[in-house]
């Protein structure tokens, strides 16, 4: 089962699907583009005139996993391939298949983020507060899904959530690049998380649940 899900996950990676996903999910595409820009601009701003390899590695460890996961979100929506709906399955079996495929994708995303965190804290300074914060942000990014059709509320929640995550990740990158724990900065960042990011994520999770339910039925997907 896991092998088949992994093969299907890898098979969905194609330039054609990336372009289709970018056209349909502009919010996700714009955040991925912003991550690319930040990856280079942050390494330059942190280094200043005394550029070092570690500065570039810090930016890569922070923003490259975001880029990869954003592409994966567009490439691997909750909804199954059309051919999967032609298989003789009950609604309960298909619902289980949808959930397992989604959880598998979330797991792959977290592995990608953990590799980035390993690079981050290998070349930067380790702070427990930063690790926990980035894990929370990474989990939220790992679970997001594309938005189908017109859903202004979900689109607003997703865009603001992605912007908040990108900005707070940038602030954590500055903290990790130095030995000082920056307690005041951490307090502000955690306040942003609990007052802005978490309510938005809880709200958007309702859309994720709706998509998980809709993906069971061929008629709703089509």
Q: Tell me: the pLDDT tens digits for 42-80?
A: 655 655 556 677 777 888 888 889 889 988 888 887 876
Based on the number of CB atoms within 10 Å of its own CB, is 90 exposed (0-12), middle (13-18) or buried (19 or more)?
exposed
To 5 degrees, how large is the angle CA 35–CA 183–CA 31? Answer: 10
pTM of the model: 0.85
Longest Cα separation, the chain: 63
**pLDDT tens, 100-136?**
889 999 999 999 999 999 999 998 888 899 999 999 9
Exposed / middle / buried, residue 139 (Cβ in 10 Å: 0-12, 13-18, 19+)? middle
Helix-strand-coil split of the chain, %, nearest 5: 80, 0, 20
Highest mean pLDDT among 66-80, 143-157, 200-214: 200-214
Distant-in-sequence, close-in-space partners of 7: CB < 8 Å, separation ≥ 6? none
């Amino acid at each position: 089962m896991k092998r088949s899900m992994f093969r299907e996950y890898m098979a969905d990676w194609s330039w054609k699907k990336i372009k289709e996903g970018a056209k349909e999910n502009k919010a996700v595409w714009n955040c991925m583009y912003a991550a690319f820009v930040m990856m280079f601009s942050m390494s330059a701003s942190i280094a200043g005139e005394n550029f070092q390899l570690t500065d570039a590695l810090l930016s890569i460890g922070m923003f490259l996993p975001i880029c990869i996961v954003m592409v994966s979100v567009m490439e691997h929506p909750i909804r199954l391939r059309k051919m999967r709906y032609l298989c003789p399955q009950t609604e309960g079996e298909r619902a289980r298949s949808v959930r397992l495929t989604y959880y598998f994708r979330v797991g792959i995303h977290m592995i990608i983020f953990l590799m980035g965190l390993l690079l981050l804290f290998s070349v930067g300074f380790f702070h427990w507060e930063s690790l926990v914060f980035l894990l929370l942000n990474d989990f939220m990014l790992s679970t997001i899904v594309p938005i189908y059709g017109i859903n202004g509320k979900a689109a607003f929640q997703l865009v603001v959530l992605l912007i908040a995550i990108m900005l707070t990740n940038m602030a954590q990158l500055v903290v990790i690049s130095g030995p000082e724990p920056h307690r005041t900065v951490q307090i502000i960042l955690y306040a942003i998380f609990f007052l802005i990011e978490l309510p938005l994520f809880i709200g958007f999770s309702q859309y994720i649940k709706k998509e998980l339910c809709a993906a069971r039925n061929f008629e709703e997907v089509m």
